[in-house]
Structure 1
């Protein structure tokens, strides 16, 4: 009896990671043909434009007065990205955006758009919706 219980516990413990691995994750962004994106990512692009981030980071996110976000998002985690955008980096000229509703309400979508650019999935700075 004890052997059966122990064996059953081992089987359950070994199977747990396999069950957890089967969880389906929602993709961060969806891109078709390098320029057509899902609604959330399109909203991120529009929010990026509305917040005028291009004034410092360039229209193609490749840097201007501010750094290239195409390169920075290759190494910056989402949490770090959110912290930098909301809190700013005053010493480097990055103002905080925690009081900018277009940014705070859409930070996840902005991240998805910029991450798609950084990953190379989104080929051009201007995107349209998937039809």
Structure 2
């Protein structure tokens, strides 16, 4: 076995000498494993584009209709991997904006851009329906509109100002059903039933005029309430 004196390096600092010991095998093996993992990860996610990145999963959560854009998978002209192009880097803000605004277009016949015609609806007023509507609101809407409808990311639901529609039940149901992707609100028609949308819409009407604490400033146009 090699003596400790034979392992000493020639230099010393303030009387402290250094031994020339090999790294432990377990440390070296772990280091080699990380290199192999990084290489495989880069190929899987960034070269062959076989897996979904976190931003794609996040976009799918925001917009159920989001489809991951098709990319060329080999190093040929048109390949868009940031590792092989000089394209400008996307920021989290720009990626979110592209998710909310540039949703994949569906093949439909072009129609004139008009506001959808909304038929009048009668609000549900029974306690059972309003209680179910309250539970739906707490489960799905609080994050954007606040516990009491005061508004956080989304608009205040308790005042007379509305960005979409006239503040009546029909307008509220239409917005919940179809969403407003450009404003960050997804369509809920694939998540909630028509009855559930009626219940939560009717519950929202009960919040109007309640003046909760920390209410968000008015947005949109002032309209008359029913």
> What's the TM-score bracket when you normalise by the shorter of the two chains?
0.5 to 0.7
**C-alpha RMSD over aligned residues:** 2.8
Partner residue of 2:131? 42
- TM-superposed CA distance for 1:115, in Å, is 0.7
Q: Which residues in structure 2 correspond to 1:109-120 (within 5 Å)?
A: 109-120=199-210
User: Higher helix share goes to which structure?
Assistant: 1
Q: Paired residues, what number? A: 88
Partner residue of 1:69? 157
More contact order relative to length (CA 8 Å, sep ≥ 6): 1
CA distance in 1, matches of 2:167, 2:188: 18
Partner residue of 2:222? none
Structure 2 segments unaligned to the other structure (5+ residues): 1-121, 213-226
- TM-superposed CA distance for 1:94, in Å, is 1.2
CA distance in 2, matches of 1:58, 1:104: 23
When normalised by structure 1's length, the TM-score is 0.56
Question: Which of 29, 36, 46 does residue 125 from structure 2 map onto?
Answer: 29
Structure 1 segments unaligned to the other structure (5+ residues): 1-25, 31-37, 124-131
- TM-superposed CA distance for 1:110, in Å, is 0.9
- TM-superposed CA distance for 1:27, in Å, is 7.2
Residues 1:79 and 1:85: Cα distance change in structure 2 (over 3 Å): same
User: Do the aligned partners of 1:44 and 1:110 also contact (CA within 8 Å) in 2?
Assistant: yes
User: Which has the greater radius of gyration?
Assistant: 2
User: Do the aligned partners of 1:78 and 1:111 also contact (CA within 8 Å) in 2?
Assistant: yes
Partner residue of 1:83? 174
Partner residue of 2:142? 54
Partner residue of 1:126? none
Partner residue of 2:184? 93
Over residues 40-67 of structure 1, what are the superposed CA-to-partner deviations in whole Å (9 max), with x where a residue is unaligned? 11111011122x2111111111100000
Residues 1:27 and 1:58: Cα distance change in structure 2 (over 3 Å): closer
User: Do the aligned partners of 1:29 and 1:116 also contact (CA within 8 Å) in 2?
Assistant: no
